[in-house]
Structure 1
Amino acid sequence: MADGSGRHRALAPSPAAAAEEEEPLGDCDAAPKYAGREEPLFDPATDSIHATHTGHVRLRDLEEHGTGDDASDDASDMAGHRRGASMAASFFNLTNAIVGAGLIGLPYAARQAGVAVGAAMIVVVALLVAWTLRVLALSSKLAGQPTYQGLVQHCFGGAGLLASSLFQGAMAGGGMASFIVIVGDTLPHVLAALMPAAAASRAGAVLFSRRFVVAFFVVCLAYPLSLYRDVGKLGKTSAFAVIAMCTIVVAVVVEGPRIDPGLRAPPGTPVRLAATGVFQAVGVITFAFVCHHNSFMIYGSLRKPTLNRYFEVIRISTLASTAVSLVIAVAGYLCFRDRTQGNILNNFPQDSLPINIARFLFALNMIATFPMETLVAREVVEELFFGGRAFSLRRHVAITTCLCAASLAVGETVCNLGLLLELTGGLSASFLAFILPPACYLRLCSGPRFSRKTLPHWLCACFGLTVMVLSTVLSIRHALATREAAGSCW
């Protein structure tokens, strides 16, 4: 809290805060850098942070004293906490951000890597995502930066901000295109099943076609919603999205063994425990799990935004997401094996009622989620090319129009969701999830850069760099070599 002199006086840790104290990472031998300065942990005269005798960062110090924010108005802070998100709401938000659209591509990842290797990679990526989310949260406390881009700029300057913005833009753009492909894969089947007579007519063949449905989705639904400047106006859809994901998993598990045997893998088709497409599969899995560019918003929205509470949300959300992902990946692959498509729902017939319900719910989820990715991509464009300028409605509309048109062009041209997931996950998601978080923490840590305690950070960054390079190169080469990977709609 700030006293009359403007300095912050030390706060005695409350029993609750002391009970919540833990050693979160313990990766640095020396005191971390705080806001660009190398100083001891929290000191009431210098606003810095004290190091424990082990050199670890104490959550109590970070949580009780914050990062220099003025906490003079306790009543206002308490009112803000009451207005924040509950643990349950944060769980839904993070779970939705983790699994998202990539869920239906996980059986394809099991086909690429083999079911045993694919399942193992899902667990490994989930553990890495949970760990790097913790690293990001701690790094944001150490640097006093509430956003991903602010943290990267604080650690690496303008070059880091440029790199993170480009990869965030690519991640958002890939997500927008993937959502369009998903809508094209789902809604035409649902409409044809609901109105079979109209679909069989000449006009229905046009109105219910993939290209018309996709164009209508973008122009009449996604584009108007994307023009909003405030994402809060789009509503809270995380709980609905999680229910939709669970519905898809149940539908795939239940309907897979019951569909026409001619649509499943022929009898005697071997179950591949391991295959050669490991790095392409990691790209798909990474796209499904990465949520780092959304994590700061979820962390800050907690009613009581302490690190321990946020870490608990991370643990529960990643556990639930991993369980759901393993079920759909294994069940989908075992049913269709070598016939498993990039969108597992495309393996099912059009007249399956449970699958059509899942398709419809998933399409609604994509319609609601598309504008959120547009918001990220638009902010990247604004930051890179128009930083510091006053808001312009004309520029706002022009950027939104160009982004939606570009994603529509990709979504109309590429029909195989697997390729988009591989490229977006391998290139952008790996950089945002496995390279930047440990790099930022190593930058903030004032201890030796190479030591036993910093080894996990270096290994994580090397893993991310390997996946980013090999997954992208192999996916492009596979797309050029086979028409299946390209999946052109034209």
Structure 2
Amino acid sequence: MANSILGAGIIGQPFAFRNSGLLGGIVVMVLLTVLIDWTLRLIVVNATLSNTRSYQDTVSYCYGRWGRLLLLLSISSFAYGGCMAFCVIIGDTIPHVLKAFIPHSITASGSVLGWLFKRNSIIVIFTTCISYPLSLNRDISNLAKASGFALVGMLIIVVLTVTRAPFIDPALKGLLTAPQWTVNYNIFQGILVISFALVCHHNTMFIYNSMKNASMDKFNRLTHIACGVSMVCCMAMGINGLLNFGDKTKGNILNNFKSDDNWINLARFCFGLNMMTTFPLEIFVIRDVLKDIVLSGDGQGGSTAHLELSSKQHFFLTTFLVFSSMSVSLFTCNLGIILELIGATSASLMAYIVPPMCYLKLVWEQSDYSKLDGAGKRRFIVRKALPSVACVIFGFMVMFISSYMSIRTSMKGESDGHCVED
């Protein structure tokens, strides 16, 4: 479960703290972790109340075909945005690792093979030769070892970044303004990046159903531990990055280090390899969701487990998803804006809006509110209705306010300068 939470978003945490401010970032991280913990557990509660076995089936039970379609689109856009972010990361990491260990006479721009080591060339070559063939697999179990590697790689990246940052060239360090020490006006954009890092709601029921002797008590403990570990890792990365790089902190914290920093190149190698093997997992998610949308024939969006894409559909859909998401990374180094926009839309829907809406509908119907006495109605409103409504309102605020701020920042050009230092 920790591996589901800790992903590409972790290297964006210093950027989130830069937008939120140090004090604001710490408060937001703690509060969002508590909120994510609650909504993760709500998904299992909702499934129990509705007697369903998946997140999308629960939403279908509560809001019919259109509710299911909205959730499936959110899941697919979350995964698709993740693919874009992964390609950006490959371009930000692998070229510098190769240049560190291959003679300059080969990698230099003026050499015959120099073009092979350009950022965009690396993205195209590695995505086409590694991620794309892996994505064509039909059986996700063929990628099972990637998950274990991913978690180990993430821990290596956190340790190397946190221990190396204090010893960098002072010229790379920035200053902290008063708002960045306390609470910054871009705090909603910080909420988005933190949300992207912590959201794993589309995997929740799979994790619950895979537990031996699954129960709510066991799942609650699991969720508390996984969210706590993830919060500590994200907060360590965020605080350390902001304190060392200040107002120069970039959307990908690894880009704040020089390209010839060999310790960070090891972290870049781990992260780039991690993204190349994680990319196909996201393609599996999108492809499965699109199969669910296209091939489901009943009005409630029933299960499509027995339906499969034809070989031709599988090939062309996978090819389109891989290369369309890859194309975005060829035009931007700014991982931050991608994480922000995904966090504003898909993450907000999956984590803050849909679970409490389903919960409120289910408990309203099953408690028979009209027959409760005065004390029972007050308990229902205080313990169930108000928290759910507050969470939904917060989700919509994050979605609309943050999307506006992120797009405005991007259009003004304030999001430039996120590429790696030479």
TM-score normalised according to structure 2 size:
0.90
* Partner residue, 1:414: 332
Report the CA distance shift for 1:211/1:429 in structure 2 as closer, same or farther (over 3 A).
same
Matched, 1:210 2:119: yes
Take 1:390 and 1:371, find their aligned partners in 2: how far apart are those partners? 18
Take 1:391 and 1:182, find their aligned partners in 2: how far apart are those partners? 30
User: Cα deviations across residues 294-341 of structure 1 (Å, max 9, x unaligned)?
Assistant: 111111111222222222111111111111111110000010010000
1:113-152 mapped onto 2 (5 Å cutoff)? 113-152=20-59
The alpha carbon displacement at 1:269 in A equals 6.0
Contiguous gaps of at least 5 residues in structure 1: 1-93
* Partner residue, 1:228: 137
1:76-475 mapped onto 2 (5 Å cutoff)? 94-197=1-104, 198-200=106-108, 202-265=111-174, 271-388=180-297, 391-445=309-363, 446-447=366-367, 448=369, 451-454=381-384, 455-475=386-406
Take 1:341 and 1:487, find their aligned partners in 2: how far apart are those partners? 5
| Letter matched to residue 138 of structure 2 | R
User: Cα deviations across residues 406-465 of structure 1 (Å, max 9, x unaligned)?
Assistant: 101111122100000000011110110011111111121123497112211111111111
Take 2:72 and 2:11, find their aligned partners in 1: how far apart are those partners? 27
* Partner residue, 2:372: none
| Letter matched to residue 290 of structure 1 | V
| Letter matched to residue 412 of structure 2 | A
Report the CA distance shift for 1:315/1:298 in structure 2 as closer, same or farther (over 3 A).
same
The alpha carbon displacement at 1:227 in A equals 1.2
Residue 381 of structure 2 aligns to a residue whose secondary structure is: coil
| Letter matched to residue 196 of structure 1 | P
The alpha carbon displacement at 1:293 in A equals 0.3
Report the CA distance shift for 1:239/1:187 in structure 2 as closer, same or farther (over 3 A).
same
Paired-residue identity, %: 39
Quick check: 115-124 or 270-279, which moved more?
270-279
Take 1:359 and 1:390, find their aligned partners in 2: how far apart are those partners? 37
The alpha carbon displacement at 1:204 in A equals 4.0
Take 1:203 and 1:152, find their aligned partners in 2: how far apart are those partners? 56
Residue 321 of structure 2 aligns to a residue whose secondary structure is: helix
Contact kept? 1:168, 1:428, Cα under 8 Å: yes
The alpha carbon displacement at 1:483 in A equals 5.3
Contact kept? 2:193, 2:343, Cα under 8 Å: yes
Report the CA distance shift for 1:280/1:486 in structure 2 as closer, same or farther (over 3 A).
farther
Structure with more helix by fraction: 2
Contiguous gaps of at least 5 residues in structure 2: 298-306, 370-376
* Partner residue, 1:479: 410
Report the CA distance shift for 1:390/1:101 in structure 2 as closer, same or farther (over 3 A).
closer
Contact kept? 1:418, 1:485, Cα under 8 Å: no
Contact kept? 1:116, 1:274, Cα under 8 Å: yes
Residue 167 of structure 1 aligns to a residue whose secondary structure is: helix
The alpha carbon displacement at 1:485 in A equals 4.8
Take 1:381 and 1:203, find their aligned partners in 2: how far apart are those partners? 43
TM-score normalised according to structure 1 size:
0.77
Take 1:217 and 1:146, find their aligned partners in 2: how far apart are those partners? 37
Take 1:117 and 1:342, find their aligned partners in 2: how far apart are those partners? 18
Contact kept? 2:409, 2:415, Cα under 8 Å: no
CA RMSD between the two structures: 1.9
The alpha carbon displacement at 1:390 in A equals 5.2
The alpha carbon displacement at 1:477 in A equals 1.3
Take 1:274 and 1:390, find their aligned partners in 2: how far apart are those partners? 50
| Letter matched to residue 432 of structure 1 | M
| Letter matched to residue 331 of structure 2 | T
Runs of 4+ aligned structure 1 residues displaced above 4 Å come to 268-271, 485-489
Could you say which structure has the larger radius of gyration? 1
Aligned residues: 395
Residue 333 of structure 2 aligns to a residue whose secondary structure is: coil
Report the CA distance shift for 1:480/1:134 in structure 2 as closer, same or farther (over 3 A).
same
Contact kept? 2:291, 2:308, Cα under 8 Å: no
Residue 190 of structure 2 aligns to a residue whose secondary structure is: helix
| Letter matched to residue 352 of structure 2 | F
Take 1:485 and 1:132, find their aligned partners in 2: how far apart are those partners? 35
Take 1:243 and 1:296, find their aligned partners in 2: how far apart are those partners? 24
* Partner residue, 2:304: none
Instruction: Give the number of the structure with larger relative contact order, counting CA–CA contacts within 8 Å between residues 6 or more apart.
Output: 2
Contact kept? 1:419, 1:485, Cα under 8 Å: no
Quick check: 333-342 or 203-212, which moved more?
203-212
Take 2:43 and 2:16, find their aligned partners in 1: how far apart are those partners? 27
Contact kept? 1:114, 1:272, Cα under 8 Å: yes
